[in-house]
Amino acid sequence: MNSKNWFGTDGIRGQVGVNPITAEFALRLGHAAGRVLAKPEGGVVVIGKDTRRSGYMLESALEAGLISAGADVRLLGPMPTPGVAHLTQAIGACAGVVISASHNPHHDNGFKFFSGRGEKLGDDVEHAIEAALALEMQTVAPERLGRAARMNDADERYLAFVAGSVPPGFRLDGLRIVLDCAHGATYKLAPRLFSQLGASVTAIGIRPDGLNINRGVGSTEPAALQAEVRTQRADLGIAFDGDGDRVLFVDADGEVLDGDDLLHILAVEWQRSGRLRGPVVGTLMTNMALELKLATHGIGFARANVGDRHVHQRLHESGGVLGGEASGHVLCLDRSGTGDAMIAALLVLEALAASGRRAGDWRRAMPRFPQQTVNVRYGQGARPLEHALVIDARARAEASLAGRGRLVLRASGTEPVIRVTVEADDVVLVERIAQSLAATVLAAAG
């Protein structure tokens, strides 16, 4: 099947005001999506968004496009991505859309789609929407136009779903937690949830102004959370990203536990309790330390391509229930059909309580292989991975790493960047190969 023009590894994303992140494109996208997802009998499409100022513009245009195609719309307002996925399924909608650029800064935005089952769309559906985008817009007859309504109980319904992921008697009484909501979609919901469960909560990143999402806070910039945990002498910290599908922890010493650490905790505890099924699924970027550590417990491990949709697919194929990425996407498919940061956080807290060990104990139990990622930006039309210089440099790097580590060289699915990742048993070797290969990629991209 031909490659897609607009959809990347996680929907459509780009800079606001530059095609495709414009009001005009959003109007056409809504119409195309309505024709594909809500035809021929019509249907309901749920729209949620994060806290970016551009979300107002894109929401209105997308809503108009969907209505023009005959789809009814339910508007959620600010809502974590997994909340949109859940509510889409819960109300029997035919699709859901999240207006968000996830962990990117405010000047980016995008569109993530979910099927009526609350899962990411398959390639065939994305191709069908792109084909419909190429057609002329044809507004349905006036009597077939869709209608829009705001879903006023969305927050309560989603919070009840998240709280239901742990046993009814589960409590966080006495636990001092710092939450970092990245000035994003979890800014209201996360403090409510953890406070209701009895935790003593200090929250940062809860004052979105439309322009500060992910800026100096959140799972991509955990330094503020680390400092606050130390200042508050908290038991731990939890950081979400702008749209609430990534989560990282900070232990009482102010050290970060990433997605690999969280998978380690959950996998070992779930195996002990008999809850774990199938292999744990990571990605090409998962640190080798996790794979080796799980092997010592007799836990299978498989790698998927980068992106939570690929992890999700591999879990379905293998019958697994637990997977994720070091970036903080954690999929617990026996509780949610997509990566949900608040659910993952609760399940990790449940596992920590069951284990009787603190987060820092788990972190220290899995020392990492040194790993370095260098991002090399390239211009439009450049294909540096196909350049002879890069192909040759890659072969030499892989020969140097044979038996000692791994190399991952890939194009990002969300921005024009080549990611050069090197992992090995020696930090000097890692840095030398990563910097040398990145310089070669940069030269080829120029």
Annotated catalytic residues are: 102
Q: Please, where are the H alpha helices in 164-222? A: 189-196
Burial of 113 (0-12, 13-18, 19+ CB in 10 A): buried
Q: Which helix (H) or strand (E) holds 359?
A: helix 359-364
What 3-state class would DSSP assign to 424?
strand
Bond into 20 cis (ω within 30): yes
Burial of 160 (0-12, 13-18, 19+ CB in 10 A): exposed
Residue 320 phi, psi (nearest 5): -85, 165
> If phi over 0 gives left and psi between -120 and 50 gives alpha, with beta otherwise, what is residue 147?
beta
Report the alpha-carbon distance of residue 217 to residue 227 in Å, rounded: 11
96, 147, 285, 287 from 425: Cα distances, Å = 44, 59, 15, 11
Q: Which residues pair with 322 in a beta bridge?
A: 332
| Per-residue tokens: 266 | 């959950």
Alpha-carbon dihedral angle through residues 222, 228, 233, 235, given to the nearest 10 degrees: -40
| Per-residue tokens: 371 | 């790993």
| Per-residue tokens: 186 | 């979890």
Closest CA to 322 of 263, 376, 363, 272: 263
Pairing of strands 417-424, 236-240: unpaired
Estimate the crossing angle of helix 259-273 against helix 288-296, to 10 degrees: 10
User: Strand order in 72-78's β-sheet?
Assistant: 12-15, 108-115, 95-99, 44-49, 72-78, 148-150
Report the alpha-carbon distance of residue 336 to residue 281 in Å, rounded: 16
